[in-house]
Amino acid sequence: MAEAGAAAVGLGREESGGGADGAGADPLLPPGENGVDTRTIRVGTRRSQLARIQTDSVVMMLRELYPDVRFEIVAMSTTGDKILDTALSKIGEKSLFTKELENALERNEVDLVVHSLKDLPTSLPPGFTIGAVCKRENPLDAVVFHPKNCGKTLSLLPEKSVIGTSSLRRAAQLKKKFPHLEFRDIRGNLNTRLKKLDEKEDFSAIILAAAGLKRMGWENRIGQLLGPEDCLYAVGQGALAVEVRAKDQEILNMVSALHDADTVLCCIAERAFMKRLEGGCSVPVAVNTLLKDDQLYLTGAVYSLDGSDSLRETMQTGVSYPHQNEDGPNDDVQHVGITAKNVPGQAQEAAENLGVELASLLLSKGARHILSVARQLNDAR
């Protein structure tokens, strides 16, 4: 299958401009003393350097659209940031990196929150929605090698070389592909994990998301990109999401200008696939999407913990639909937690159905048993 992130097609996304006079902004956001531009918009984020960089990039886009609005960034620590001695898959909390941020959103302490989309569960708490999914960065996984292994690839590493990853999904796929390697948990933010790699001899290499490395300006550390033939990626990987209160129409309209239509459709399909499988970070579920020539291709797979048992299938659907006026009682319909009024509703439905149908196909072939065993074994580790 062709590499994700390749050709993209326009799907009715309207360009949103903005100037000091509010030109091009949503008509529900007029300039002047009653408009949103007289307020300070508080943006919630995690404290890590990567989270701040990602949030800054979203705020920069919003400032370009709404130059008269003041944006204030509110950083906080989450459960996932505090528990650093346990593998993510063992903690058993679905909202590891989002709960505290959502609590602040619910208490009106912030107006919107920026997340990595892959951190957001497929079912959001009542009252919240993903109001924007920004254009996706490269969703592939990357290998960062210990300095002594520069120039090598995973296949060229010596027998019993230790690879660091806290992801069951990555470990399951790579154990099957590279049986001569060993895999061990590694926790911490990007800075911490790179420091553990470089300053100790514990790991020959670590696996990280290429998107995070690029956003941090560390692309030069990528020694190998893992394409879909080696490692399918996580649901939503590489995309940023803006979560808002579902009934806060003003903020919802404001952030909706950030939606990237192609990314929205790919991620709706991926999230629908994950939701139907009832997957999460405690089981190895992986995807790859490609949008080309008005066709959305979704590859999805499930794995046993050691990668010896797996199911993988690809399906496709057409997503070329006109953008209709969908105002009315269903104008804020959500698709796996995403509200995207500026993306054709029929295209979103097609993407969601694609994810559900692919998951159902895998379930009919025994995916539930594979995931059930994987979950039990992970709990027993």
Compute how many other C-beta atoms are within 10 angstroms of the C-beta atom of residue 105. 23
* Alpha-carbon span 119 to 93, nearest angstrom: 11
> Please, are residues 62 and 254 in contact by the beta-carbon 8 Å criterion?
yes
* Alpha-carbon span 371 to 310, nearest angstrom: 10
CA angle 245-71-138, nearest 5°? Answer: 75
Closest C-alpha among 118, 163, 168, 160 to residue 142: 163
Give catalytic residue positions. Answer: 119
* Alpha-carbon span 243 to 234, nearest angstrom: 19
Instruction: Determine the residue type at 43.
Output: V
Sequence-ordered list of residues with C-beta below 8 angstroms from that of 237, at least 6 positions apart, any chain: 116, 117, 118, 139, 141, 209, 211
* Alpha-carbon span 315 to 373, nearest angstrom: 26
Between the alpha carbon of residue 190 and those of residues 124, 179, 210, 216, 305, the distances in Å are 26, 26, 11, 9, 24
> Please, are residues 380 and 282 in contact by the beta-carbon 8 Å criterion?
no
